[in-house]
Amino acid sequence: MKINYDRPKYEDWFKCLLVIEPKIMIAHAPENEGEAPSWHDSRDLGKTDRLLRYIFFPLFLNFSTIELTKLGTLKQALEFWVEERDEVIIEMKESGWDSMDTPAAFNIAKEILYCDRSIKIAIDKYLEVADSRTINDSRKVILRIADISDTAKNWQPHFGMDVLARFMERLKPKVSDDYVRACFTKGKKPAKSKKKGGRPKGMSLKTIQRHNWIRDYFHHLKKKRSASTLDEMAGIIYSIMRENPPPFFEKTPYKKSTILKILKNKSWGAE
């Protein structure tokens, strides 16, 4: 009986990997001799789902690529999740949302946990699958996290392993604010009252300037009807920012995904 691995059963753990869809760059052979390979984002091609299944299930890709291995694909996914998570962490700290006392703070915390959960699942499942392949091999090589990549070896959950473990008790792809809140409060003693002082709540001045700059371009594009969707607006603003970043962005302009989040949430100062 022929087994069709083309459509493996989707378990909840696999669906969790797609909540923050990773970017995996695919190299296609040049059409003409002497030309360089062309690179494409798997998300633009609608192939991220299949590439992730390629890592964890015994199937072959039905589209042509150059040197795309299971381990190489996993490394790209891990690097994306770590970079995406770290950018969200910076946004969280700059915006003063690390106090976890507002809906916006919980949304940011969820994104961080989604990324860390994807990293943990991907590492564990890859090692599980890789080790199972050595059962009939006389060498019986047991892979460890350090064998995957430096990214995997150096990764640590932002909120700690205890919080992440509680977050992963039920592998539902998307969870509620109440579920996230329970992950942080379960088993914790009530916090002692803090003395007055310290950093005030809310966004820093630099973050307000950045978000308001994005807001101004957003209104400009709406007025000129230069784009019809928020995604298109985010792309235009990102291009402008890359070409001529304002002083308060310094040399680290936001990614398009961050700009899109700001536009969706309208997270800027009073107009």
Output the 3-class SS for 179-225. HHHHHHHCCCCCCCCCCCCCCCCCCCHHHHHHHHHHHHHHHHHHHHC
Q: Are residues 156 and 242 in the same domain?
A: no
Cα gap 52→75, rounded to integer Å: 11
> Is 266 exposed, middle or buried, given 0-12, 13-18 or 19+ CB atoms closer than 10 A?
exposed
Cβ neighbours of residue 48 closer than 8 Å, sequence gap 6 or more: 18, 21, 22, 23, 24, 42
Q: Are residues 117 and 209 in the same domain?
A: no
Q: Are residues 221 and 112 in the same domain?
A: no
Query: Phi then psi for 146, rounded to 5 degrees?
Result: -65, -20
Closest residue by Cα to residue 263 from 241, 232, 223, 239: 232
pLDDT of residue 5: 38
Residue 194 maps to a domain: no
Query: Phi then psi for 259, rounded to 5 degrees?
Result: -60, -40
Q: Are residues 78 and 168 in the same domain?
A: yes
pLDDT of residue 157: 93
Q: Are residues 241 and 159 in the same domain?
A: no
Residue 6 maps to a domain: no
Cβ neighbours of residue 44 closer than 8 Å, sequence gap 6 or more: none
Query: Tens place of pLDDT for every residue, the chain, 271 residues?
Result: 444 434 444 568 999 999 999 999 888 777 777 778 788 888 888 889 988 988 888 766 666 666 778 888 999 999 999 988 888 888 787 776 666 667 777 888 899 999 999 999 999 998 887 766 555 555 555 578 878 888 888 899 999 999 999 999 888 899 988 898 889 886 554 444 344 443 334 456 677 778 888 888 888 888 888 787 888 888 888 888 888 877 777 656 788 888 888 888 776 655 5
187: left (phi over 0), alpha (psi -120 to 50) or beta: left
Q: Are residues 78 and 119 in the same domain?
A: yes
Q: Which residues of 210-234 are buried (b: 16+ CB within 10 A; e: fewer)?
A: bbbbbbebbeebeeeeebeebeebb
Cα gap 254→117, rounded to integer Å: 24
Residue that is last in its domain, among 119, 151, 185: 185
Cα 89 off chain centre by? 11
Residue 58 maps to a domain: yes
Q: Residue written as tokens 């009986």?
A: 1
Cα gap 43→231, rounded to integer Å: 14
Written as six digits, the tokens of 202 are 């809310």
Q: Are residues 60 and 171 in the same domain?
A: yes
Residue that is last in its domain, among 156, 185, 214: 185
Residue that is last in its domain, among 185, 220, 254: 185
Strands (E), the chain: 25-28, 38-41
Residue 271 maps to a domain: no
Residue 142 maps to a domain: yes
Cα 26 off chain centre by? 18
The CA-based diameter of the chain, rounded to the nearest angstrom, is 71
Q: Are residues 149 and 232 in the same domain?
A: no
Q: How many domains does the structure of the chain reveal?
A: 2
Q: Are residues 139 and 223 in the same domain?
A: no
Q: Which residues of 103-119 are buried (b: 16+ CB within 10 A; e: fewer)?
A: eebbbbbbbbbbbbbbb
pLDDT of residue 190: 40
Q: Are residues 180 and 226 in the same domain?
A: no
Q: Enter the pTM of the model.
A: 0.67
Residue 200 maps to a domain: no
Integer angstrom CA distances of residue 248 from 1, 59, 208: 63, 48, 10
Boundaries of domain holding 214: 205-265
Residue at 134: amino acid letter: T
pLDDT of residue 134: 53
Residue 191 maps to a domain: no
Written as six digits, the tokens of 4 are 């069709």
Q: Are residues 116 and 20 in the same domain?
A: yes
Residue 237 maps to a domain: yes
Cα 125 off chain centre by? 18
Q: Are residues 79 and 211 in the same domain?
A: no
